[in-house]
Amino acid sequence: MSLENWLNDKLIVKHRPSAGEIAELLHICDRDLEEVEIIELSPDWRLSIAHNAAVQAAKAALAAVGYRARKEGQHYLVLQSLAFTIKTDPATIKQLDKFREKRNISDYERAGLVTEQEAEEMIALAKQLRDDVEQWLRAHYPGLAREI
């Protein structure tokens, strides 16, 4: 499987990124990473916000290589694309996907499902992903990283 396969399967579309777009996606990620520090928020919300931060970082990496995910299943695809963009290890992607599923349940089906430990784990993953994406951008796409 590759991004070209995904393109052929119409899961993603070609996209022309800009430094401003990349900076905005990472700005949203940074905003979310600040918000998760509000300890009065429930673990459900903290995990959900951290998940969004991770998605924004992953979207920045996918955009940098010239693609954008279609709306259907976007969060899943964007997180899975990390294997092709910044070469995230399969165990980390599996963990991100586990938290994506938990977020879906807590957002749409059942409150109080997320533990504080799970929220903290997702926050740590999102922070690490944000750093990894920025380092990768600076190393491989310095023109797109100039505004971050």
Cα–Cα–Cα angle for 99, 100, 105, rounded to 5 degrees: 95
Residues 75-108: tens digit of each pLDDT: 999 999 999 999 999 999 999 999 999 997 776 7
* Domain CATH number, residue 122: 1.20.120.330
Domain assignment of residue 64, yes or no: yes
Per-residue confidence (pLDDT) for residue 112, from 0 to 100: 84
Q: What is the pLDDT of residue 86?
A: 98
Residue 146: inside a domain, yes or no?
no
Which domain range does residue 116 map to? Answer: 3-140
Q: If you average pLDDT over residues 12-24, what whole number do you get?
A: 97
Reported as type and span, the H/E element at residue 52 is helix 43-64
Q: What is the average per-residue pLDDT within 118-123?
A: 97
In a domain, 134, yes or no: yes
Q: Are strands 12-14 and 67-69 parallel, antiparallel or unpaired?
A: antiparallel
C-alpha distances out from residue 54 to 7, 96, 110, 136, 144, Å: 22, 8, 22, 15, 19
The answer to the question of residue 128 being in a domain is: yes
Please give the tally of structural domains in the chain.
Answer: 1
Instruction: Please give the pLDDT value at position 105.
Output: 78
Mean residue pLDDT across the chain: 94
